[in-house]
Amino acid sequence: MPVRRFADGEVVMGRWPGSVLYYEVQVASYNDLTHLYTVKYKDGTELELKESDLRSVSSFKHRKSNSSSSSPSRRSGSRSRSRSPGRSAKGKRRSSSQSRESKEEKKKTVRETNLTFLKLSENNTSRYNGEPDSTERNDTSYKPLQVVEGLPLLNGRRLKYRINGFYAFVLTVAAVGTSLYFEIELHYLYDHFLQFAVSAATFSVLLSIYLYARSLKAPKEELSPGGNSGNFVYDFFIGRELNPRIGNFDLKYFCELRPGLIGWVIINLAMLLAEMKVQDRNMPSLSMILVNSFQLLYVVDALWNEDAILTTMDITHDGFGFMLAFGDLVWVPFIYSLQAFYLVSHPSEISWPTASAIIILNIFGYYIFRGANSQKNAFRRNPKDPKLAHLKCIPTAAGKSLLITGWWGLVRHPNYLGDLIMALAWSLPCGFNHILPYFYVLYFTCLLIHRENRDGHQCKKKYGLAWERYCQRVPYRIFPYIY
């Protein structure tokens, strides 16, 4: 029989349902049958919470704020057994014009909350940002080779992730450099491209079978929201378990960046060497140098900003199944390197002015891509980051806010826009004689349009009215004034 952790009358921190915010609550009672605690918030709100939503007060950092009152129920809009008494009394004492005025004010506050204002208006007595002491120190200035915590899972737990992808890359470069020094022929990869791709595909199928089998034993709260329809084919494809781990080794997180991205760079390098050999050149072509450099920048950027992946859909929402296993281990290294592969047997000479225009296009795309991703990542990690104080956001009932200015006020997925501009810049050096180098940009446009739709549905479910307001405020999805 499970033993209860908190006694009646004890003051603890209770998570507000659907959010990451914790408030001081008093345990009123415990139900032995449902294993739920009835807790009372300071404003009188009573709720039933699971033990995993309760924490001891000592594990939180206490911050004082001298701003005006706001109860959790008011902020979240959730239903509770009793309403805040202070709220109704206030309403009765006001005249109708005063209350109209205050309604208008409230609407304004809800619609557009400047970040600095948000900081002041959180709570009358004390405000906790939902994280235990140790994670409060999280900021956006991570250095590689760190352990950071991911976003809270449904049960409130946060997994730890080792940030060392960039060092894995440096180590791989050293190993490849050494093998080149000993004259190991890397263009072997070009000669046996298909065999390598088929081997990787076979491995990804085996890995997916293993992932599916182990997910059958996984506890319910560790399953992904999307991959548990009961339809074997669909669940096998989407992935059932959200964060499959062997000990501390996170299989999805590892596959997301390391083998696929680093493999892609190595294949590109092999193509560059193969081009020199096949075309009997002393130097790689300018087109090949551009393709290699652009894609190298993309990979190094992803590895350098490795922690940013922890707030992406792949990590927070999608399970680990065939879709990600095949995507990470086969699709990324073998399809994304098609431009370099093409150039080996299809020489494409471009002039310096053309090359310069393509470089500017790539830098432009990268600027949008990195700016948007970093802004959202910094905001999700610490909405009160002083560097973001100039941005506006709208609060949502789920506790998180949505940025409505800055990159995320331009279109709903500015990061996709930047990514697509770069994708075009990677294809252009190959000229216009063949569709193959443009496969990536065409496929990627379809993928991101579909992904944007999928994300939009999820956000609508998560944020309801606030999401609709965001969509009204930011009508274009990816391409300003077009789509």
Binding mask 412-451 for ligand NDP (x = CB under 6 A): -x-xx--x-------------------------------x
Rounded Cα gap, residues 46 and 82, in angstroms = 6
C-alpha distances in Å from residue 233, one per residue of 209, 237, 243, 321, 473: 11, 6, 20, 11, 39
Segment holding 264, helix H or strand E: helix 263-278
Q: How far is the CB of 356 from ligand NDP (least distance, A)?
A: 25
Q: How far is the CB of 417 from ligand NDP (least distance, A)?
A: 9
Which one of 52-60, 216-224, 309-317, 351-359 is the stretch in contact with ligand NDP (CB under 6 A)? Answer: 309-317
Q: How far is the CB of 302 from ligand NDP (least distance, A)?
A: 8
- Label residue 419 exposed, middle or buried (CB < 10 Å: 0-12, 13-18, 19+): buried
DSSP result, 115-126: HHHHHHTS-SSE
Please calculate the CA angle 338-371-152 and round it to the nearest 5 degrees.
Answer: 95
Q: Is 459 near ligand NDP (CB under 6 A)?
A: yes
If you compute the radius of gyration of the chain from its CA atoms, what whole number of angstroms results?
26
What would the two tokens of residue 461 be? 């479910």
Nearby residues of 241 by Cβ (< 8 Å), 6 or more positions away: 211, 214, 215, 218, 222, 223, 224, 319, 320
Q: Is 368 near ligand NDP (CB under 6 A)?
A: no
Which residues inside 398-417 make contact with ligand NDP, applying CB under 6 A?
400, 402-403, 408, 413, 415-416
Rounded Cα gap, residues 329 and 333, in angstroms = 7
Which one of 159-167, 353-361, 372-380, 425-433 is the stretch in contact with ligand NDP (CB under 6 A)? Answer: 372-380
Q: Is 369 near ligand NDP (CB under 6 A)?
A: yes
Q: How far is the CB of 467 from ligand NDP (least distance, A)?
A: 9
Contact 189, 267 (CB under 8 A): yes
Which one of 10-18, 85-93, 204-212, 369-377 is the stretch in contact with ligand NDP (CB under 6 A)? Answer: 369-377
Rounded Cα gap, residues 9 and 441, in angstroms = 61
Which one of 30-38, 218-226, 311-319, 354-362 is the stretch in contact with ligand NDP (CB under 6 A)? Answer: 311-319
Among 206, 209, 313, 389, binds ligand NDP (CB under 6 A): 313
In terms of CB distance, is 252 or 413 closer to ligand NDP?
413
In terms of CB distance, is 84 or 415 closer to ligand NDP?
415
C-alpha distances in Å from residue 119, one per residue of 132, 297, 382: 18, 37, 11
Q: Is 306 near ligand NDP (CB under 6 A)?
A: no
What would the two tokens of residue 196 be? 């390598």
Q: Is 312 near ligand NDP (CB under 6 A)?
A: yes
Q: Is 76 near ligand NDP (CB under 6 A)?
A: no
Binding residues (CB under 6 A) for ligand NDP: these are 311-314, 369, 373, 376, 379-380, 400, 402-403, 408, 413, 415-416, 419, 451, 455, 458-459, 470
